[in-house]
Chain A
Amino acid sequence: AQSVSQHNHHVILSEAASLELGCNYSYGGTVNLFWYVQYPGQHLQLLLKYFSGDPLVKGIKGFEAEFIKSKFSFNLRKPSVQWSDTAEYFCAAANSWGKLQFGAGTQVVVTP
């Protein structure tokens, strides 16, 4: 069965710390991978996506993610977080039909 799992449900860190959120997927065939962010009171926004090519994908706001096919992983990283990065982060996968399956989400709290 297709699934997306996120390792951490809740992460608390200080400003300037580095962030890495784990995501693993279980999909047969072609899979497209996404990271979405939901800031408090706002709608989901796309951070970055991977379809093919360079496995290191750079997104908005200084985020990047690395696709490691052998590990079925697509981890999200940011070298130095800011207070404004406090949000919920969702990893998602889609097959060629575009139907997204989301992970459970990770609540990230950045303290000043």
Chain B
Amino acid sequence: GAVVSQHPSRVICKSGTSVKIECRSLDFQATTMFWYRQFPKKSLMLMATSNEGSKATYEQGVEKDKFLINHASLTLSTLTVTSAHPEDSSFYICSVHTGTGSTDTQYFGPGTRLTVL
């Protein structure tokens, strides 16, 4: 399957600053990547669909101006948390979408732990 990396794995920042998280597909060209947020002891919540070469599609309730997504190439999508606040502290996970129909699969990155002080 596809190998997905995220960088950084862990970041601590001050309130009001912006943080960029990278998601790379190391061995697969991904036209579609997904960004999830995982709260402690809770499930993953889909934030947005990242489409290569076009605007991301955000889920209801997710502020697109707060969580900027750029999918500039087939191997890289970035999530920028702008003007971060403590409530943005969370575990952010990306996935690479491959296949269609019966081969439809997502491969997940290891996640990025964001702590906003």
Contact = CB atoms under 8 A, between A and B. Distances in A.
A51 B38 CA distance: 26
B101 interface: yes
Interface in B32-76: 32, 34, 42-46, 49
A98 B32 contact: yes
A102 B101 contact: no
Contacts of A100: 34, 44, 46, 95, 106
B105 A104 contact: no
A103 B43 contact: yes
A94 B100 CA distance: 12
Interface residues of A, number: 20
Interface string A40-82: 0011111001011000000000000000000000000000000
A4 to B, nearest CB: 9
Interface in B88-117: 93, 95, 97, 100-102, 104-111
B110 A42 contact: yes
A94 B43 contact: no
Nearest to B110: A43
A45 B2 CA distance: 11
- A52, A98, A99, A104: which has the most chain B beta carbons within 10 Å? A98
A104 B111 contact: no
Report, nearest first, the 9 A-B pairs whose CB atoms are least far apart.
Answer: A44-B108, A43-B110, A51-B102, A102-B43, A104-B43, A102-B44, A43-B108, A105-B43, A98-B97
Interface of B: 1, 4, 32, 34, 42-46, 49, 93, 95, 97, 100-102, 104-111
